[in-house]
Chain A
């Protein structure tokens, strides 16, 4: 009542939205500045990176991205060999253009493929097993079901460094170190608790009556699961899948210890190595990182309606 009668209040009510939005944008740009600065760094030429003063003005180029995917000879000076000249690869041509002796691919593209393959398959499997288990826990009476579920969830809370020691020994015996199977299985196991728990919440929300009506129509339980329950739970499954994917994509500890040979190395364990010695080519690190983060950023925005539920392990449903 009071609000309506006061003219000052009504102006504020109308302006409040836009003013708050502007404030939000200012705060956001401050908060996300480190990410923006990294994107900027990936476009900087090397001499600007090495400068002792902050430089925001420079002629941008894809320096970071080219360098992330190639190995260069440092210091500059050595030329391409005769043999390489006769059969030039794309990176040789680029080296000539850039007056910078590019030796060849750095292998980052392989690591990206590894990351994609491992995270993709792990997500698929953990959602499949998770959806089945979630349905089981949701619709059937499982002996000690509640305890089993808590237990399943609590495995996610153990420090990964503690779990990895016996897993490493087990994998050494089974020859699973440095294999795709090994890493994928481990990610599935680690994601499964989370995906079961989260999807059980989504399946609980689907009224049982839908299935029961289908049974009356002669559907078997299995058919009703595929035709009624899964389509109804689709958004929940998609959200769970995105969470599993982001986790597997970002994972570091397991990947670090289980890929000593480098054949199945993923991006998060590869990029820090580039900083290990000598002059750090920050533009290359920035380029690789930004490419690596891009999918996660897009997925986070897609996921925004389910973020709360996912990161609270399904405790808060909005």
Chain B
């Protein structure tokens, strides 16, 4: 092989073709091995009654899917997840947008303040969940101690969902804030100046300038959060005492099917249904991303 030497180091002369593929292929191979292969495998499993303890498994066709779609419990977990997602994403939109309106203003140390607000979302969700489990605990927890309430946040099904939603909002509103603040800072100042000349009210300025200019980026943030909320797993496990007392989110359901009852075929079928849902949201998301980065 041809070699050129610079300061004693041999650099092989590669043709562009060889160079290109030796740079790109390792990544593609890893992704195929750990993403594509498992996906195909899971799809095949979803048509079987496979279980690790059962060597004699059979193809059951669409059996798993039909069982899930006709099972009350699965519909319930989908609806719990949907309610959870809608609640937490819409609260995050409101809180995050409000925070952005504050953070975009000019003051010393603004960058550090914004970064500090982002601390919760950079932390491990299980550990954050554990924090909050302590705060929520009925007798020793700060929330009940300060308010004087006697709410059993983590056992009473009426409250567990809200308890987890609240933590999710606490963790992820700063994410919406950061994206919206970026959107706000890209609004050209001359629009506001023009509105000033026209003596537009503050509400009018917000309604006609701020909101439409930030809308694309807000939508991007919300789609992002919708996908993530739909996958919520570790946060719920951290906050709740156990998988049983946690809200019946689909991720927990898949986990239970696969690694508690070892019913892997059905777990894969459920996973694929979730996957199809997320892929739908995801394709909208990617189109939005594409438009953003083209601008």
List A residues at the B interface (Cβ < 8 Å).
16-18, 20-21, 23-25, 27-28, 31-32, 34-35, 37-38, 41, 49-54, 129-130, 132-133, 135-137, 140, 142, 148, 150, 152-155, 157-170, 172, 185-186, 188-190, 192-193, 196, 201, 218-223, 246, 249-250, 252-253, 257, 268-269, 271-272, 275, 280, 282, 285-286, 289, 292-293, 296-297, 299-301, 303-305, 307-308, 311-318
Q: Given known contacts A132-B27, A165-B264, A221-B16, is B34 in contact with A185 (CB within 8 Å)? A: yes
- Closest B residue to A17 using CB positions: B107
Is B24 a contact of A162 with CB atoms below 8 Å? no
A154:B286 contact, CB within 8 angstroms: yes
- A132-B24, A250-B123, A272-B237 are known contacts. Are A223 and B107 too (CB-CB below 8 A)? no
In the complex the two chains form, is B271's CB within 8 Å of A136's CB? no
Q: Are A24 and B113 in contact (CB under 8 A)?
A: yes
CA distance A197 to B77 in the complex (A): 34
Q: Is the CB of A163 within 8 A of B39?
A: yes
Number of A-B contacts (CB under 8 A): 283
The A interface, classified by DSSP as helix, strand, loop or mixed, is helix
Known: A49-B140, A304-B114. Contact between A221 and B278, CB under 8 A? no
A155–B31 contact, CB under 8 A?
Answer: yes
Among A49, A133, A185, chain B packs the most CB atoms within 10 A around the CB of: A133
Establish whether residues B278 and A157, one from each chain, have CB atoms under 8 Å apart when the complex forms.
yes
Chain B residue with Cβ nearest A27: B102
**Shortest Cβ distance from A309 into B: residue:** B182
State A188–B116 Cα separation when bound (angstroms): 28
Interface residues in chain B, defined as those with a beta carbon under 8 Å from any beta carbon in chain A: 4, 6, 11-14, 16, 19-21, 23-24, 26-28, 30-31, 33-35, 37-39, 41-42, 45, 52, 102-103, 105-127, 129-135, 137, 139-140, 142, 145-146, 170, 175, 178-179, 182, 217, 220, 224, 227, 230-231, 233-234, 237-238, 251, 254-255, 258-259, 264, 267-268, 271-272, 274-275, 278-279, 282, 285-286, 289, 292-293
Expressed in whole angstroms, the Cα–Cα distance for A140 and B45 within the complex equals: 38
Establish whether residues A272 and B126, one from each chain, have CB atoms under 8 Å apart when the complex forms.
yes
Q: With A169-B41, A189-B30, A222-B11 in contact, is A162–B274 under 8 Å at CB?
A: yes
B103, closest chain A residue (CB)? A24
Q: Which of A196, A218, A280 contacts B4 (CB 8 A)?
A: A218
Question: In the complex the two chains form, is B134's CB within 8 Å of A41's CB?
Answer: yes
Q: Is the CB of B251 within 8 A of A161?
A: yes
Beta-carbon contact of A285 and B130 below 8 Å: yes
